[in-house]
Structure formats: C-alpha cells, structure tokens
Chains A and B, each alone.
Chain A
C-alpha cells in the first residue's frame, strides 16, 4: 500500500525546495550569465559539483556540516533548540544544496540566450531594473526557469542517497517516498514498493511532459 505520509513529506520537501531555491537560483543564474567577476568559473564548477558527486559522498559531507561538531550545526541548535541532522530542516537544507545545479543551469542557459543589447534597450526605454526583469527578462527566460523548477521538483521527489545520509528514516520527519520504497523492498513488500514506484514514475512523467511542452511552445518567440 502507498505510504501517504511519506508521499506528503516528499511533496512538502519538493515544494519548499522549489520555493526557496527559485529566488536564489534566479539571482545566481543571472549573475553567472551576465556578470564577469573573478572566480566566476570556479563558482560555476562548484555549483555543478552535485551533478557528478555520488549522493552518499555529498550526504556524508552535509551530515558532517550539520552535526553538532560543526559551527553550523551548533549555531542551529543554539537558534532552534534541536539539531539540524535527522530533521526536516536538515533535509531541506541538503535538498537545497543538491538541487543547485538543477535549478541554476537551465535558468543560466535561458538568461544567456537573451540577446546582449535587449536589456540595455530596456534601460534606454526608461524601464527600471525591476521593470526590465519582469517585463523583458522573465518572459524571455521563463521556459528555462520553468524547466528548472520542474527538474528541481522531480529530482527532490526522487533523491535517495543524500536523504538517507542526512535525514535517516524517521516517519513524518525525514522518511520520504524514495526511502519508503527502499524500505518496503528490504521488507520483501514488493507490492507496496511497486505501487509507490508507479506513483513516482507518474509524477516524473508529468513533470518532464510539462517541461518539454513549455519549451516547444516557447520556441517561435525565442527564434525572433
């Protein structure tokens, strides 16, 4: 049977990740696309690291960073009264980190594709920086922004290694649907595992479908 609690937790984690990553990724992606600052390439490489790092390795480092031995972990305990590791907050923090490339790279590509003089043209039309962002940049980049959000959402639902390392398997707190599937397989409950896997598959298909269809619909405009 489907563990609704785990599915709800996964959806909640994915929603929070998308909500928090959206503004941060927009800022970083724009900066990487247009600004030239020292260490830009290094930052780009560092942000791509979660793509190639084994999830267990990333999870291990995050767990070390979240533990009470680290300054970050201690600061979190001092602030909230409970530890970051093996908590939903810790899971969310980890999720934000491992989703960085999935959120930033499609947005960066989209911003880079905006013709160079279009933003200065906005300024010469008297539009404010915010006006240029909302009326020019976002409409031109939104297929990339949307696919970044969809990718991030789907990827969060499916992430397993980092979640298990950082969050463990606490029902209602850190037991996501991916962990639940693994758990069910370990318990030879293949029927439940199969059902939940099918749910994840369906969600992922919908997400990819949305991402692809927006890209195709946006193409005639981009070709301008």
Chain B
C-alpha cells in the first residue's frame, strides 16, 4: 500500500441504510458525492470519519488503513485524521470561535495552538471575530468557523456534508467563491456531499452519482451530465430529455449510427456498442436542441429536424425554457432552452408551431432496461418525457 495520499473507499451493507459504494479521491481533488435525499451520502461520509460503521467495507487514506471489516479493524474517529464540516456545522455552542478551533488543535504543541487557531480563522476571513460565540455569528460565519475547525486538525481528508445547505443564496455564492479559492491550498482529498448538481459541477473535479447507497457513475461533471451511464443516472442529474428508441443503422467505416424514435429517424453520436435492432435509451442535453428560426431557414436545419407545437414557455431571466410537443401519435415532448430575446424575436409562445434540430453529436445512447426495473426510463406515455 503506497502512501500516495489517496482516499479509497469501499462500503457494502444491506441495512439499516443499504450501501454498495466505491470510489477513490486523489490528494487535492474535490469529489462530489451527489444524489437525492436518502441516497446514503451522509452515511458514507460518517463511515469515512469513523462515526458510523458499515457491515462490510474497507477505507484507506494516505496509506493508513482506517477500516477493514474482514480483518475486524476499525480505527476510532479520534485516530483518523479527518476534518468534517457537519451539515448544521455542529459548533460547540459554549465556546468562542477561537475556542472551537482550539478544540481541534490537540495534536499540536500547546504553545503554538492559539497562534495557529487565529491564523486559521484569518484564512477564512474571520479575523476580529475570534471571541464571538456561534450564536453571535451569522450562518455564513458559522460555516467558516466549522471549516477552520475541520482544517485545524491538519486532516488527511476533508469531508464536507452539505456545507452550503444552511445559508441563504447570496451567502452561498460568496462561500462558493471562498471554497474555490481555499481549495488551491488544500493538499488532501476533499469529499463534498451535496444534492445540488450545479454546486457539484461548480466546485468538484469529479462527481459520483449515488442512488440508494449505490455509486452509479463517477466522472467529471461534464462527462456525467452529457454522457450518463444509463437512464437512471440521466434522471438523477436532472436531464429533461430522456427517451427510448431502437438502433436501425450502424456504419463503422462512416462512424454513423441511426435510431428510430417512434417513427422519427435520428442521426446520433456514433455508438458502435449497440447492435442494429437493439432497444436503447437516449438523452440529449437541453443545450443540444436548436430552435429553428421562423422567419427564414437557417443553417443546420437538415440535422434531425422535428416539428411540433410549443406547449410550455417559461422565461427565467436571460433564458427561456420551452416544451415542444413533437408531431406524431406518441405525443413526445422535448425540452429546450433558448435565450429569451431569441424567443421574443421569433414570437415563440404557447400554442405556436415551431421546428427544432437535435444535434446528432449531442445525442447519447444508453443501455435500455425494462421499465419494470427500478427507476428506469420510460417515454411515449402521457407524460411524454417523464422519466422513471
């Protein structure tokens, strides 16, 4: 076991919370554990910290073995060098900010602790507030104290449990920037638990999608959001356009794949792993659908054109989200997003006829599973692009 600083986690249990999770995190890397409430994110974090013990598992960090259920070894939280920022921060209410940080400095020589605590508080922009109690600090300031306390231990891994969930939007944006700035100085693996995909995409180098305690897919936020492993991941990362189709044409030399989508032929990104005749799930990011201009033809209109009726038109600031019901018996609905000024100029409104192109390279095929299976993709039903 080379002491390369990596965190390696393998966990499995059937109850009380089912777990089948495995992931690695390199020093300096931020890994986001993402999934809906109850997907076991916090439990996994508590297992890494040693606060919870899984039935089966192995956790090693920076060359130290912290948990190995087979060898019946489980290092206590005190002897694992972890920094954990709790969801509600769990600051010691009777201690001042500096007292909270001092509590985690027991491993340093006594004479150096106070200076180190003040230095840490200064690094999270809390200089001058050292003597305040948590109740005298704002939510954002409390989060910073919690961050300073977590770092005080000189941890070999930093664990953040929904650290931005308990603050307002404006503060959250500020804390995002601070963490982004702080992480350049962090030499240890950082595991961030969040249910917020945008947060994960913004802060993390890699994402790990969790569902009912299972790690479904790991990869860069961009990779997961454009190339989900299956329809369940696509649904969990909030992809709106998830459908099914049948592979109709494969040409290895021309690197082309074509599928049939309820009577509509679609060119898709080359996916040689699916044989002709295979039923597949497929998805396209909202940004992969281009609205046709209504006044005159535009370039690229020949690429997977579909026509339909606008059934939903939701302007949110600069962007407008459209629901387009595609012509045909299946009543399928695509979701696309256009700049609001484009929507206005084209006179797009509910009830208006519109055409759109599905960019072939953006269409991503995934293995199809029986809809009876847990959380699988369905389309062609009343909800059209409802999934799972």
Report which A residues bind B (CB closer than 8 A). 115, 117-118, 120-128, 131, 135-136, 139-140, 220-224
Contact = CB atoms under 8 A, between A and B. Distances in A.
A126 B134 contact: no
B135 interface: yes
A117 B87 CA distance: 9
Nearest to B101: A125
- Shortest Cβ-Cβ A-B pairs, 7 listed: A224-B93, A117-B90, A224-B135, A125-B104, A121-B90, A123-B77, A124-B84
B153 A125 contact: yes
Contacts of A125: 103-104, 106, 149, 152-153
Contact of A128 (B78, B84, B107): B78
A117 B152 CA distance: 18
A124 B80 CA distance: 8
A122 B84 CA distance: 10
Interface residues of B, number: 30
Given A124-B49, A124-B51, A124-B84, A224 B103 contact: no
Interface in B79-135: 81-84, 86-88, 90-94, 103-104, 106-107, 133-135
Contacts of B134: 224
B58 to A, nearest CB: 20
6 contacts: A117-B86, A120-B86, A123-B51, A125-B103, A131-B106, A136-B92
Contact of A118 (B82, B92, B133): B92
A120 B77 contact: yes
A41 to B, nearest CB: 20
B76 interface: yes
B90 A223 contact: no
A136 B103 CA distance: 10
B103 A117 contact: no
A127 B93 CA distance: 16
Contacts of A118: 90-93
Name which of A118, A125, A127 has the most chain B CB atoms within 10 A of its CB.
Answer: A125
A221 B134 CA distance: 9
Nearest to B84: A124
B46 to A, nearest CB: 8
A186 B150 CA distance: 68
B93 A115 contact: yes
Contacts of B77: 120, 123-124
B94 to A, nearest CB: 5
A139 B103 CA distance: 14
A119 to B, nearest CB: 9
A121 B106 contact: no
A164 to B, nearest CB: 44
Interface in B131-166: 133-135, 149-150, 152-153
Contacts of B104: 124-126
B135 A120 contact: no
A85 B306 CA distance: 96
Nearest to A121: B90
